[in-house]
A = this chain, B = another copy of it.
Amino acid sequence: MEKRARLPGMGRLESFSDAVLAIVLTLLVLELLPDGAQSPEQLLQDWPTYLAFVTAFLTVGVVWLNHNQAVSRIRRADPTVQVLNLGVLLGASLMPWPTALISAALQDGDRPAQIAAIFVFAIVTVLISVPWLALDLYLIRHRALLTSSSDESWMRKHAQVSAATIVAAGVSVALAFISPLASLILYALVVAVFLVVRLKESVTDPDD
């Protein structure tokens, strides 16, 4: 299973994507910044903000871990790869928006506002997953862009993950009509499953 060397342009795609994802992660804290002094009671009442923060942070964190793995298997970023990657980043850069909507809606919004906030979270998830699915499928059909032949099966597996994420987004919207909070917890659970799967890959993927 020979490995082909990666070309220089990849480094810049990686560092640019890293920068965007790092900034998104760090901008999530803006939602927590207070308007003035906060009493202990006010801080406790803010729990939906904390839950939304952790869910969004781990979601973007999982995007980074997967992006890390995906990009390490690409040896050349042709324009299609660059544009589809830009699409993934567009979706990821939107993440602070539903996070703020959910936290505001769970604190002082009515049921329609809460459902709408979960709907925006689902749309952003889809905006991340659709270009990524397109990227996976493009790379499967253009093997010369990958570093080794084993990467193709990884891309197939990731395409299934992307498709499953789109389905999960639909389920989360349906669930929001019963309980918006349950929808948010569903996202947190999906992310937790991703992290556990990733940790188990420790042994099987020694060269990452």
- A residues engaging B (CB < 8 A)? 7-9, 12, 14-16, 18-34, 36-40, 43, 54, 57-58, 61, 64-65, 68, 72, 77-80, 82-83, 86, 89-90, 93-97, 100-101, 104-105, 107-110, 112-117, 120, 195, 198-202, 205-208
Contacts and interface: CB of A to CB of B under 8 A. Distances in A.
A148 B32 CA distance: 41
B97 A40 contact: no
Contacts of A64: 16, 86
Main secondary structure of the interface of A (DSSP, over half): helix
A37 B107 contact: yes
5 contacts: A36-B104, A38-B101, A39-B110, A43-B116, A61-B86
A89 B25 contact: yes
A39 B113 contact: yes
Nearest to A60: B86
A117 to B, nearest CB: 7
A20 B20 contact: no
A82 B68 contact: yes
A101 B34 contact: yes
A38 B93 contact: no
Nearest to A94: B29
B112 A40 contact: yes
Nearest to A113: B37
B80 A29 contact: no
A116 to B, nearest CB: 4
- Pick the 8 closest A-B CB pairs, nearest first: A37-B109, A19-B22, A23-B26, A32-B97, A40-B116, A37-B113, A37-B104, A37-B105
A58 B65 CA distance: 25
A143 to B, nearest CB: 15
Contacts of A23: 19, 22-23, 26-27
